[in-house]
Amino acid sequence: MNIIPDSLSSFIRFLIGILLLQGVTVLLVYTALQTDWHVTWLLFTLLGIAIGVLVALWFNTIIYAHRSRAVSKLSERFSKEREKIRVKAEQQRAKDGRDNERLAAKARSSSGISLKTGVMVGGTIGLGITMMVAQFMTLGLITLTAAGGAALGYSVRVRQEKMIQNKRLATESRDFQAIEVDSATQLLPRRASKDRNPS
C-alpha cells in the first residue's frame, strides 16, 4: 500500500481524522490528570477505547471508499480495453470472411477452368489415340505430346498458384499479433487466502 494516498480527498480525510484523534487524546489525558485519576481511570480508559474504535471505523470507511473508486476506475479501463479487443477481433473476423469468400470464388472459377481444360486435354488425347489407330501414327504422336505438355503445364501452374497463395496466407498470419499481458504486474492487491499455511 502506498504511504501517500492517490487522491487528495482521501489524504485530507486521513489528516483530519489523525489530527482529531490526537486532539481528543490530548484533551482526554489533560482531563484525566486534572481529576482524581485513581478513581476515574476506568472511565477514561473506556472513553479512550471508544474514541479509538470510532476513529478506526472512520478510517476503514475512508479506505473502503478509496478502494471502491479505484476498482471502478480499473473496471472502466478494462471494459474499454475489452471493447477495443472485441472490435479488433470483429474486424479481423470480417476480413478473414472476405478473404475466405474471395478464395472460395477463385477456387470455384479455377475449378471451372480446370474442368474445361480437362475436357479439352482429354478430347485431344482421344483424338491422338484415334489417329494412331487409324494409321496416322506421326500425327497421333504429335497430338498426344501436345496434349501431355498442356496437361503438365496447367498442373504446374496450379501448383505454383497454390504455393504463392500459401506463402501469402503465412505472411498474413504472422502479421496478426495477439495482445500480451505482463502477468508479473499486479493491478489490484489480492487478499491472503484462509487456506494458506503460514509455514
Q: Quick one: pLDDT at residue 134?
A: 67
Pairwise CA distance, residues 133 & 179, whole Å:
69
Pairwise CA distance, residues 146 & 154, whole Å:
12
SS3 132: helix
> What would the pLDDT profile of 8-25 be if each residue is shown by its tens digit?
777 888 888 888 888 888
Q: Quick one: pLDDT at residue 108?
A: 65
> What would the pLDDT profile of 70-113 be if each residue is shown by its tens digit?
889 889 999 999 999 989 888 888 888 887 788 777 766 655 55
Q: Quick one: pLDDT at residue 199?
A: 47
Q: Quick one: pLDDT at residue 107?
A: 66
Judge whether 46 and 27 are in contact, CB under 8 Å.
Answer: no
- Kindly report the pTM of this predicted structure: 0.40
Query: Which is higher by pLDDT, 11 or 189?
Result: 11
Q: Distance between alpha carbon 10 and the CA centroid of its chain, in Å?
A: 33
Q: How far is CA 33 from CA 49, 139, 155, 187, in A?
A: 17, 132, 108, 49
Q: Quick one: pLDDT at residue 165?
A: 81
